[in-house]
Amino acid sequence: MLFQRLASKVSALAPAKINLFLELLGKRPDGFHELETVMVAVSLFDRLEVTPTQQPDIVLDCAWDSGQLAQATRLGDSGQLLGDLPPQESNLVYRAVKLLQSEENVPHGARIVLRKRIPSASGFGGASSDAAAVLFAASEAWNLNLSIDRLSELAAQLGSDIPFFFYAGQLGSGQAIATGRGEKIETFAGRRLDLVLIRPAGGVSTAEAYRRCQLPEVPDSSSELVASLKSHQRTSMPRQLTNRLIQPAREISTRIDQLAKICEQLDVVAHQMSGSGSGYFAICRSHAHARRVAARLQAQNVGMVFPVTTCGLQSLRN
């Protein structure tokens, strides 16, 4: 997350993420899954601004970025390509600020402007990143001086992968292994990756993907992938990328197999689904190569296509 404090407001860029590795280890007593995942932040950003107000109301102005909406409209059904924006009361950004206001007994309110570029229901973590960004931005706007540990504690009440966006900046790499429900974060410094993100028409319900998923008898480990990232090796990546949720996602959306077949025909290092889908990614050899691959994918009208790089997250105040 990148932040800027102006005279009367705090602005933030909230990055997308992808899961290079996602394995389910078991079912927890609280109903969640124990998991192991390798997440990296990438250079596709939502933008938000938080302006404190004297009145206690929280007002959220949430809309698709105008350029993003225009592109999706040109490609077809923008609702299918970008996903839905929830109403204010169920928007994770609104819920995050209300939780912060309640837990810290803040008498003031805030006006939040959110312009989204990260598609919904894609596995790219847009809602979680926005929630993390707004928690930090609102705490700064309200001069609460909260620690990252406290903000992460609040975030974990809202979503399992939100803490990643707080802690992955500690080494500046935006790369981390997450365990538990996803809230236990171990950062590492790995190589920069050039990628192409693809969001096909139609999303995948995270809850439904987890409900359908079968737990493995012997879970895979992310250790080889992390070693490759640390040593800047990528020749083994095709066999090291794992996503346990891909099978149920295939059952929900036929687009997953279509994207896999298309990417198999492209000259890319490796490819895989992110999170619970329907978002997909291809790892490329360079930024120029990623732009060429993106152009080929756009010509095939596979959906929304984004050439990106992994990006370091600003190390936030401890």
The mean-pLDDT minimum among 119-128, 233-242, 295-304 falls in 233-242
For 80, counting Cβ atoms within 10 Å of its Cβ (0-12 exposed, 13-18 middle, 19+ buried), the class is middle
Q: Which two tokens stand for residue 230?
A: 């640390």
Query: What's the confidence (pLDDT) of residue 7?
Result: 81
Of 68, 16, 70, nearest in space to 196 by CA: 16
Structure tokens at 143: 């001069």
Q: Rounded CA gap, 231 and 126, in Å?
A: 29
Using DSSP's 3-state secondary structure scheme, residue 9 falls into coil
pLDDT recorded at residue 316: 47
Confidence of residue 20 (pLDDT cuts 50, 70, 90): very high
Was 126 annotated as part of a binding site? yes
What separation in angstroms does the CA of 220 have from each of 22, 23, 124, 188, 209? 9, 7, 22, 19, 19
Output b/e per residue, 215-250; b: 16+ Cβ within 10 A.
Answer: eeeebbebeebbebbeeeebeebeebbbbbbbebbb
Residue 132 and residue 10 in contact, taking contact as beta carbons nearer than 8 Å: no
Q: Which residue has the higher pLDDT, 191 or 317?
A: 191
Classify burial at 98, counting beta carbons within 10 Å of its beta carbon; exposed 0-12, middle 13-18, buried 19 or more.
middle
Q: Is 161 a catalytic residue?
A: yes
Fold identical between 2-187 and 194-309?
no
Give the whole-angstrom CA distance, residue 180 versus residue 68: 35
Query: How many whole angstroms separate alpha carbon 316 and alpha carbon 52?
Result: 20
Look up tokens 């992460």; give the residue.
152
Q: Torsions phi, psi of 19, nearest 5?
A: -100, 110
* Catalytic residue of the set 9, 116, 130, 161: 161
What's the pLDDT band for 180 if we cut at 50, 70, 90?
Answer: very high
Task: State residue 213's pLDDT score.
Answer: 95
User: Does residue 92 contact residue 125 with C-beta atoms inside 8 Å?
Assistant: no
What's the chain's average pLDDT? Answer: 93
Residue type, 138: A
Q: Active site includes 184?
A: no
> Does 200 belong to an annotated binding site?
no
Inform me whether the pLDDT recorded for 1 exceeds 80.
no
| Fold that domain 2-187 belongs to in CATH | Ribosomal Protein S5; domain 2 (3.30.230)
- What pLDDT was estimated at residue 313? 66
- Residue-wise pLDDT for 182-202, tens only, equals 999 999 989 899 999 999 999
pLDDT tens-digit readout, 98-114: 999 999 999 999 999 99
* Residue in this structure with the two tokens 């999303």, named with its chain if needed: 203
Span of 29-43, 51-65, 154-168, 303-317 with lowest mean pLDDT: 303-317
Q: What's this model's pTM, rounded to 2 decimal places?
A: 0.94
Task: Give the mean pLDDT of 173-184.
Answer: 92
The pLDDT of residue 275 is: 97
Check the annotation: does 122 bind a ligand.
Answer: yes
Query: Does position 176 have pLDDT exceeding 90, yes or no?
Result: yes
Q: What SS3 class is residue 268?
A: coil
What span, in angstroms and rounded, lies between the C-alpha atoms of 67 and 224? 39
pLDDT of residue 172 exceeding 90: no
Of 176 and 312, more confident: 176
Which residue in this structure is represented by tokens 């923008």?
Answer: 78
Check the annotation: does 139 bind a ligand.
no
Report the C-alpha gap between 58 and 133 in whole angstroms: 16
pLDDT band at 314 (very low <50, low <70, confident <90, very high): low
Is 120 known as a binding-site position? Answer: yes
Ligand-binding site membership of 21 (annotated): no
- Of the pLDDT bands very low, low, confident and very high (cuts 50, 70, 90), residue 318 is very low
Catalytic pick among 17, 116, 130, 194: 17
223 carries a ligand binding annotation: no
Q: Out of 119-123, 142-146, 236-240, 256-260, pick the least confident.
A: 236-240
pLDDT band, residue 317 (cuts 50/70/90): very low
Residues of the chain with pLDDT > 90: what percent? 84
Domain boundaries 194-309, CATH class: alpha beta
Q: How confident is the model at residue 131 (pLDDT cuts 50, 70, 90)?
A: very high
Question: What pLDDT digit, counting tens, does each position of 41-95 carry?
Answer: 999 999 999 999 999 999 999 999 999 999 999 998 888 999 999 999 999 999 9
CA 44 to chain centre: 9
127 is in an annotated binding site: yes
124 is in an annotated binding site: yes
Domain extent listing, the chain: 2-187, 194-309
